[in-house]
């Protein structure tokens, strides 16, 4: 991956960039179409965990429960169970339900002794070789998070840790024992962390810098999950080209049949609830009333089965690979050439035949 200016010269950008700030330069392609059998979207999340599709459903309580986790497994991706349950017994039941249909279960935990004890029992239920533990912390670059990863290592499981937005945070979690890092702070569609706290890093730069620093410190085998800010398949391609091994989707999957929650009817259609895990709606549900909210809760249109959405997104990603002349995610990362564009360059990139004659 490199950046190229209008003179064809490589350079290192001096601005903090996100997806709409760049385009990928098309290359000569050896593929006849995006359906060419020579194109593979397989990705190694861990050395012993190969995903056929680089998509992970977000571990939010309105996105991934057992139904979504099982369907993501069937589709070749991964669903990480959310950790917000009325009691641990309910959560154990959900993990067991997924384990009955899948060869691995990814579940989320927080920090502290209670979560260590929870993890120990959950892992004993399904076996360490089948367990993926995701340390789910809003600000993952904390001493407490790093210590938690070190404690989880004793169980011999695959560990995902996050969220971080800096290369230093990624490296420290990797050094503690995490084998996959969730990158992204404040870029989610219902997240207000950047507005409330003033902190965050534009997502494309966060991915690029984390990947470079991990590689520079001998953590080439530690994968990156780009979490947040993705609105279309093009953003997935840009994330992968920048160094991510997989992407995590929340709002794009919200409202699907497989997401937790009931469908309700309003005057303009059928909807489901989608909320940030620090939204006022969520905080009230878990009994936190004196905490500043860092998210929103919204109604999203009911979208039907997730299968159709994943299929369309993967088609776009496969097409994206052909435009870079790449047959795999690794080849995309090797060949990718980013170009910074102007605001008008982005406007030109979007559908602009909006004038209709009645």
Q: List the structure tokens of 160.
A: 């995902």
pLDDT on residue 299? 84
pLDDT in tens, 173-232: 999 999 999 999 999 888 888 889 999 999 999 999 999 999 999 999 999 999 999 999
pLDDT on residue 218? 98
* DSSP-derived secondary structure letter, 291: S
Per-residue pLDDT band for 306 (boundaries 50, 70, 90) equals: very high
Residue of higher predicted confidence among 186 and 81: 81
Q: Among the options 104, 211, 275, 280, which is catalytic?
A: 280
Please check the confidence at residue 169 and state whether its pLDDT lies above 70.
yes
Alpha-carbon distance 134 to 173, whole Å? 12
pLDDT on residue 298? 73
User: Nearest 10 degrees: CA dihedral of 276, 283, 224, 328?
Assistant: -30
pLDDT on residue 357? 53
3-state secondary structure of 101: coil
Please check the confidence at residue 278 and state whether its pLDDT lies above 80.
no
Residue of higher predicted confidence among 342 and 284: 342
Q: Among the options 191, 211, 256, 318, which is catalytic?
A: 191
Distances (CA, A) of 299 to 69, 96, 219: 22, 30, 40
Where helices occur in 217-352 by DSSP H, the ranges are: 233-242, 280-285, 306-323, 329-335, 343-349
Q: List the structure tokens of 63.
A: 């996105």
Distances (CA, A) of 119 to 37, 59, 60, 90: 40, 16, 18, 14
Q: Compute the mean pLDDT over every residue in the chain, rounded to the nearest whole number.
A: 93
pLDDT in tens, 100-149: 999 999 999 999 999 999 999 999 999 999 999 999 999 999 999 999 99
pTM of this structure:
0.94
Q: List the structure tokens of 103.
A: 């060869």
pLDDT in tens, 4-20: 999 999 999 999 999 99
pLDDT in tens, 9-49: 999 999 999 999 999 999 999 999 899 999 999 999 999 99
User: Nearest 10 degrees: CA dihedral of 304, 228, 21, 180?
Assistant: -120
Say which residue the tokens 């030109």 belong to. 348
User: Nearest 10 degrees: CA dihedral of 160, 163, 167, 171?
Assistant: -30
pLDDT on residue 355? 56
- How many other C-beta atoms can be found within 10 angstroms of the C-beta atom of residue 37? 7
In the residue annotation, 30 being an active-site residue is answered as: no
pLDDT on residue 274? 86
Contact assessment for residue 253 and residue 68, using Cβ atoms and an 8 Å cutoff: yes
Where helices occur in 130-272 by DSSP H, the ranges are: 143-152, 167-176, 193-197, 203-216, 233-242
Q: Which of 158-167, 318-327, 346-355 comes out lowest in average pLDDT?
A: 346-355
pLDDT on residue 30? 95
In the residue annotation, 151 being an active-site residue is answered as: no
pLDDT on residue 356? 54
Question: What is the dihedral sign for C-alpha 85, 90, 96, 102?
Answer: negative
pLDDT on residue 192? 85
163 upstream amide cis, omega within 30 of 0: yes
Give φ, ψ of 90 to 5 degrees: -60, -40
Q: List the structure tokens of 275.
A: 């909320």
Question: Which residue(s) pair with 229 in the sheet?
Answer: none
In the chain, pLDDT over 90 holds for what percent of residues? 80
Please check the confidence at residue 159 and state whether its pLDDT lies above 90.
yes
pLDDT on residue 286? 59
Contact assessment for residue 234 and residue 242, using Cβ atoms and an 8 Å cutoff: no
Q: How do beta strands 2-4 and 10-11 pair?
A: antiparallel
Please check the confidence at residue 74 and state whether its pLDDT lies above 90.
yes
pLDDT in tens, 237-254: 999 999 999 999 999 999
In the chain, pLDDT over 70 holds for what percent of residues? 93
């Amino acid at each position: 991956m490199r950046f190229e200016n209008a003179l064809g010269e490589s350079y290192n950008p001096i601005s903090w960039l996100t997806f709409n700030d760049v385009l990928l330069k098309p290359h000569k392609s050896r593929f006849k179409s995006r359906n060419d059998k020579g194109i593979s979207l397989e990705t190694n999340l861990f050395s012993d965990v190969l995903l056929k599709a680089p998509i992970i459903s977000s571990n939010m309580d309105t996105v991934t429960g057992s139904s979504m986790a099982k369907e993501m497994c069937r589709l070749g991706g991964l669903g990480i169970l959310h950790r917000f349950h009325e009691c641990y017994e309910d959560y154990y039941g959900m993990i067991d339900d997924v384990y009955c249909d899948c060869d691995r279960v990814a579940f989320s935990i927080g920090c502290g002794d209670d979560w260590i004890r929870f993890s120990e029992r959950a892992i004993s239920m399904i076996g360490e070789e089948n367990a993926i533990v995701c340390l789910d912390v809003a600000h993952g670059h904390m001493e407490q998070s790093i210590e938690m990863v070190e404690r989880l290592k004793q169980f011999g499981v695959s560990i995902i840790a996050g969220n971080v937005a800096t290369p230093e945070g990624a490296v420290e979690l990797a050094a503690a024992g995490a084998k996959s890092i969730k990158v992204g702070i404040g870029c989610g569609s219902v997240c207000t962390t950047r507005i409330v706290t003033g902190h965050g890093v534009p997502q494309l730069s966060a991915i690029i810098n984390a990947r470079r620093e991990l590689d520079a410190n001998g953590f080439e085998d530690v994968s990156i999950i780009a979490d947040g800010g993705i609105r279309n398949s093009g953003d997935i391609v840009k994330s992968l080209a920048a160094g991510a091994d997989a992407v995590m989707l929340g709002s794009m999957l919200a409202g699907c049949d497989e997401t937790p929650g009931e469908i309700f009817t309003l005057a303009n259609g059928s909807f489901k609830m989608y909320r940030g895990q620090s939204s006022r709606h969520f905080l009230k549900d878990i009994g936190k009333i004196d905490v500043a909210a860092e998210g929103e809760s919204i109604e999203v249109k009911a979208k039907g089965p997730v299968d159709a959405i994943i299929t369309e997104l993967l088609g776009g990603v496969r097409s994206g690979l052909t435009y870079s002349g790449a047959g795999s995610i690794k080849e995309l990362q090797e060949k990718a050439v980013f170009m910074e564009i102007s605001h008008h360059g982005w406007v030109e990139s979007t559908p602009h035949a909006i004038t209709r004659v009645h």
